[in-house]
Chains A and B, each alone.
Chain A
């Protein structure tokens, strides 16, 4: 036997199997899910934390007693009248008044203990000291003035009556849950993609992957695929939690909610990909991700309505992807708005995601 026969030019082992076109993609998705499942802290931040947040805020704002306004009345001539007038007024249950000397009253007002200071104006009337920048102070002035006037004998020319509303759909928790879903989609999109990629680059695993015949597009698709699987779990959990614990009424169709969340999840995954396209270190990508998310935490109406910000910056706020996602989620979940009416918001999300993705492809470093 010649040497050439003993050592053929290629290994003669038969292959064990033939892989199909999508074998790499499915393996990458499955592996990603397994890795996430095996990191308890990831499970907590993705699932546990938003639930705790919803629970905490939901309870804090659920059975809030009627607002009581705290008023300081400065001792002096006529102030005893003020106290007794308030006692006689129909609003007495919502006004808590205390008699104090002037320095103590002013100090308490400065510290926010009192919303309003009432003192005699020396001409038989009263003078209010309030801060127009503090909504509760403004409210208190109106309420106390009303109470005093009515108790002093004012007759209202127009009969009115009020009905209390705390039906599901208009409470704080109803506002909060869609916002939390949106914020969670942003957080996990940015972190799970951005962090995972830079970590893999740092470990030279990306380089190792591209040394195989794996298609780079399959790898990126698998990241997006993993996000979609997680997205269903995240949204389902928060929505289910809201419905069970806080009796939130989900008006829109589940399919619309899922489509919306999917667009959001993939859009933020694109943004995450962009932040991770060059960074070599976890520290640098962490800073970058926080920098990008920070304005959206504040402006995009997660915890409170962005309508409170000056109208000059409203267009900027509305152009943020999280604002678009939150608005769309609220409209769909709480009002059942069909997707077709939300084309503008969807376009904003798609543009953010799409442009980030294209830029990321240009800049991305595998090594």
Chain B
């Protein structure tokens, strides 16, 4: 059975200079929710627009359910639902008119009423798009993608700029689409979103995949599941001190950022007592100490030395 989405050695160079995508390989199976995770400008949108057939790659091959864009454009479009980043739908149309319009483009669309219900837009069916809140607009954008009864859903930063409740509503919608057998490809720069929604994900930076796997695999690769963060008086962040922290039992990696030292550890209860001793022996005082579960953010920082939100 062909993969839902597959691409080989995808490259995109703008104006012969800017390399937005530099040799990307992906294989996304049917029924999967796959995330492209990366900072702004990493090439996520370029990648997803090439996969959606909206941009031509400079080189490389894309197949959707075994079909290429060149040969079967119209047929393939029937199988896809797309939500672009920042589409502004017509403000003078109602929610229902907008969904009906998009339904008219597909051979066998779903009923507008079902989609309205699924996306909790029933109450707003006759409201003008211009009167909707940000979260409602985003749900409408997803509704226009779902009304064609797609097999694959592409979502480019679906929850950027939304409040927590609207984000959660969208996550539910995406999960329920997946439960019904749909395949999802989404881009995000939110770590928690990727962790909760995605079966697998690829971390993209400078147009390349720098890590790929399930969220837990990626965190596993850090070596430890926990992060101990502390701040101590004195020179807790200089070279010799960092070496001392690294030598503590159970420490997998050490990072220092603005006075804050982060240790990735397997088991905090084995690391913390010797850490306290070491701080005392160093002659400094602990100002602050927390432990938390390692997240994809830690994976990203560990791989790139930068935070995701940094440009």
| Interface of chain A residues 1 through 50 with chain B (CB within 8 A) | 7-13, 15-19, 23-24, 26-28, 31, 34-35, 38-39
**Which of A18, A27, A207 sits near B87, CB closer than 8 Å?**
A207
* Among A183-191, A209-217, A351-359, the stretch in contact with B: A209-217
A203 at the interface (CB under 8 A from B): yes
**Which of A11, A12, A367 counts the most B-chain CB atoms under 10 A from its CB?**
A11
A92 at the interface (CB under 8 A from B): no
A247 at the interface (CB under 8 A from B): no
Contacts of B31 in A (CB 8 A): 7, 9
Contacts of B151 in A (CB 8 A): 9-11
Decide: A31 and B97 in contact? CB cutoff 8 A. Answer: yes
Decide: A9 and B30 in contact? CB cutoff 8 A. Answer: yes
B246 at the interface (CB under 8 A from A): no
* Among B78-86, B158-166, B271-279, B288-296, the stretch in contact with A: B78-86
| Interface of chain B residues 88 through 141 with chain A (CB within 8 A) | 88-90, 92-93, 97, 100-112, 114
Decide: B107 and A7 in contact? CB cutoff 8 A. Answer: no
Main secondary structure of the interface of B (DSSP, over half): loop
A11 to B106 alpha-carbon distance, docked (Å): 16
Contacts of B87 in A (CB 8 A): 203-205, 207-208
Contacts of A38 in B (CB 8 A): 92
B182 at the interface (CB under 8 A from A): yes
Q: How far is the CB of A156 from chain B (nearest CB, A)?
A: 70
Decide: B74 and A11 in contact? CB cutoff 8 A. Answer: no
Q: How far is the CB of A165 from chain B (nearest CB, A)?
A: 50
B54 at the interface (CB under 8 A from A): yes
A212 to B54 alpha-carbon distance, docked (Å): 10
Contacts of B55 in A (CB 8 A): 367
B148 at the interface (CB under 8 A from A): yes
Contacts of B86 in A (CB 8 A): 204
A214 to B107 alpha-carbon distance, docked (Å): 10
Decide: A34 and B108 in contact? CB cutoff 8 A. Answer: no
Decide: B111 and A16 in contact? CB cutoff 8 A. Answer: yes
Residues A19 and B90 in contact in the complex (CB < 8 Å), given A34-B97, A207-B84: no
Decide: B106 and A19 in contact? CB cutoff 8 A. Answer: yes
A38 to B87 alpha-carbon distance, docked (Å): 21
B187 at the interface (CB under 8 A from A): no
**Which of A10, A31, A209 counts the most B-chain CB atoms under 10 A from its CB?**
A10
A7 to B89 alpha-carbon distance, docked (Å): 33
Q: How far is the CB of A102 from chain B (nearest CB, A)?
A: 67
- Whose C-beta in chain A lies nearest to the C-beta of B98? A31
Residues A212 and B90 in contact in the complex (CB < 8 Å), given A16-B109, A19-B107: no
B27 at the interface (CB under 8 A from A): no
Contacts of B110 in A (CB 8 A): 13, 15-16
Chain A residues with CB under 8 Å of chain B are 7-13, 15-19, 23-24, 26-28, 31, 34-35, 38-39, 203-205, 207-215, 367
Known: A28-B101, A207-B84, A212-B82; 19 extra A-B contacts, CB below 8 A, are A7-B179, A7-B181, A9-B151, A10-B30, A11-B180, A13-B114, A15-B108, A16-B114, A18-B108, A19-B104, A24-B104, A27-B101, A204-B88, A208-B84, A211-B52, A212-B106, A213-B78, A213-B148, A367-B54
